[in-house]
Each structure stands twice: as structure tokens, then as C-alpha cells.
Chains A and B, each alone.
Chain A
């Protein structure tokens, strides 16, 4: 079970690689530039149910995307939730 931490925008090379590498049972955490995925509710990652996807709240707020995330009912975690995810998942990969 791996926590995939994506730091880049949804259509970037790193995002595509992460999408290919992720397996059912893993989780995907979107931080930094990756939180712009909140503006695109049609992305594949929001439509699948194989793995949970979370947006980092502080990075959403910093970019003014918090309303978009709540409007589209997308799951968010704060920085403490980020730590909890790393407690839960033994391994992590940062995609950048």
C-alpha cells in the first residue's frame, strides 16, 4: 500500500506517470501545484473508485481553490491529515 504524493499539475508528465504507477489499495495525495485538479472535476482520478484521492487543504487555500474543492465535493486533508496518511501507508512516492 503506497501513498503517492503528486506535486505537479494534473496533465503534467509526473501526473501521468503517477496515474500509471498507482494500484488499487494505494492512495493519491495532491499537494502544491497538483491541487489545481480541484478545478477539473472531470479528471479521471475523480471518477475512479480504485484508490482514494485527497487534496491538501493549505495548498488549496493558498491558491484560492478551496471553494472549487468544496463545490465539487472533493476530499481534502489538512497537514495533520497528510501526516496521518503517512502513518497509515508504510511507503510513499513523491512525483515531481
Chain B
């Protein structure tokens, strides 16, 4: 079965993304496909390449990235939610005249339309939010 995940919680302060990550591995372990993860609201913080947890703790951005590398899971980030919260790609940083950016591939800034597409492509869309 094709699954999609909607993640709306911030890592380290809310349990939602941690639950979502465990669930993602569990659906793959049961032989399902993960068609995509969409990060929305505070979930956009999962994509920040500047997050620096202690080395003996989970780096959730790296964990999502590994999911992409090992299983080809698209990682889409809502552009409106991200820019509001200071999660910015290189091209958006250039457009706004910023000297730094903190969103890189495999995360991609996309619109809400991408969430609808994901929902239409999946048999199951599971929301993780707090």
C-alpha cells in the first residue's frame, strides 16, 4: 500500500516528528511504500541543516535524509510555512538578500498543492501533529 505522512510538529520540542519517523520505518518494514513526507507548520524545522543536537543524540534531519537516500522518499516542505519560520533554501536566501540558508536537498520547498497530490497518490495519509 502507498502511504503518505503529514508532519506538523517541531523536533525536540514536540513528539510528532519522532512518532512519524518511527512510523515511517514501521510501514517500510511491513513492505509498504512511503510515497512522501510533507512538512507543514512547525514541522518545517525538521528540515533545518543548522540543527546541531549533541553527537550522541538523534539528528532528526539526518534521519529523514537517510530515509530519502535508502528508500527514495520525497521530503517536501511547505514554502510558506518555512519562510515564515526562517527555514530558507539557497535560492530563497538569494532572492531575499540573506547571507545564509538552512534548507538543502533532499528537502524541497514546495507549495500546498504538493500535499494534495500526495494525498491523491496514497491510499493512506497519516497526520502527526501536536
Q: A residues bordering B, Cβ < 8 Å? A: 5, 7, 31-33, 58-59, 79-80, 82-84, 86-87, 90, 92-94, 96
Known interface pairs A86-B124, A92-B124; A80-B29 also in contact (CB < 8 Å): yes
Distance (whole angstroms) from the CB of A88 to the closest CB of chain B: 11
Q: Indicate whether A83 sits within 8 Å of B27 (C-beta atoms), given known contacts A92-B127, A94-B126, A94-B127.
A: yes
Q: What are 19 sample pairs from A and B whose C-beta atoms fall under 8 A apart?
A: A7-B16, A32-B16, A32-B19, A32-B130, A58-B22, A59-B19, A80-B26, A83-B30, A83-B32, A84-B30, A86-B3, A90-B123, A92-B125, A92-B126, A92-B127, A93-B127, A94-B126, A94-B127, A96-B130
Residue numbers in B under 8 Å from A33 (CB-CB): 15
B39 in contact (CB, < 8 A): no
Whole-angstrom CA separation of A82 from B127 in the bound complex: 13
* B23–A82 touching, CB < 8 Å: yes
Q: What's the dominant secondary structure at chain A's contact region?
A: helix
B-side residues, CB < 8 A to A, are 1, 3, 15-16, 19, 22-23, 26-27, 29-30, 32, 123-130
Query: Interface of chain B, helix or strand or loop or mixed?
Result: mixed
Q: Which residue of B lies closest to A3 (CB)?
A: B126
